Amino acid sequence: MWSVFRKEIASFFTSPVGYLVMGLFLVLTGLFLWVFRGPFNIFDHGFANLGLFFLLAPWIFLLLIPALTMRSFAEERKLGTLELLLSKPLPVALLVLGKYLGALALVLLAVVPTVLYVATLYELGTEPGNFDAGLVTGSYAGLVFLMGVYTAIGQFTSTLTENQIASFMGGVLLCFLLYYGFEALSTLFDEGQTALWVQKLGMKAHYERISQGILDSRDLVYFLSLTLFFLYLSVKQLNGLKR
């Protein structure tokens, strides 16, 4: 598994893909938070609050993570190397896990430089350090769980086809439906409890709870279950191809 993990990391950094994903994420968040006037601009918001970053990041990753994972298995299928991988004594589950951890590690690396935003806001407050560190920590935790699900979804759609564009589109669609689709669907219900129940089926409601610093085991189980579910689907799909 670790050899697959190292190979995946190396493949990202020997091609423009890894640098492109990390660079795009940092450039886009930087422009929306500090340069472009609009709802995500921290200066327009008037408060030294990193909450705007955590509202913006899921939407950017919704596009970037499927773009990163679309080549995971689709490229192997197109080049004809997937059969070689599946013929090795390595269990399919460990192959999937190795590729998953490699992609997730790259996404996490893209987030690390954003600690500079925290340092900047630390100084921007009316008094230096006048912001809720616990809230920021919870928000980062929620973002990590969300990225984990996005990566598992993107990898799963990559097992379905050898066409990387189709894999990308499928990943974006699934991520969007699971992140925002249920919240949009909940607006069709007039009864408050029903609408709330439908909202809780989507990732956005659970992500926002964790981002508020509320570490509820139900939210953690939700994200871990979704991640494991899509990893299982990837294993099942590849086992089908192996036969």
**For residue 129, is pLDDT > 60?**
no
**For residue 5, is pLDDT > 70?**
yes
Predicted confidence band of residue 97 (pLDDT cuts 50, 70, 90): very high
**For residue 232, is pLDDT > 90?**
yes
Q: What per-residue confidence (pLDDT) applies to 148? A: 96
Higher pLDDT, 150 or 137: 150
Predicted confidence band of residue 119 (pLDDT cuts 50, 70, 90): confident
Mean pLDDT (the chain) is 86
Phi-psi bin for 97: left (phi > 0), alpha (psi -120 to 50), beta? alpha
- Work out the average pLDDT over 131-151: 87
Higher pLDDT, 133 or 224: 224
Instruction: Tell me the CA distances in angstroms from 208 to 96, 100, 158, 214, 222, one per residue in order.
Output: 29, 24, 28, 9, 13
- Give the whole-angstrom CA distance, residue 23 versus residue 236: 34
Q: What per-residue confidence (pLDDT) applies to 19? A: 84
List the single range of 113-117, 122-126, 184-188 with lowest mean pLDDT. 122-126
- Work out the average pLDDT over 84-89: 79
- Work out the average pLDDT over 227-240: 94
**For residue 78, is pLDDT > 90?**
no
Higher pLDDT, 31 or 39: 31
- Work out the average pLDDT over 135-160: 92
Q: Give 55-66 pLDDT, tens digit per residue.
A: 899 999 999 999
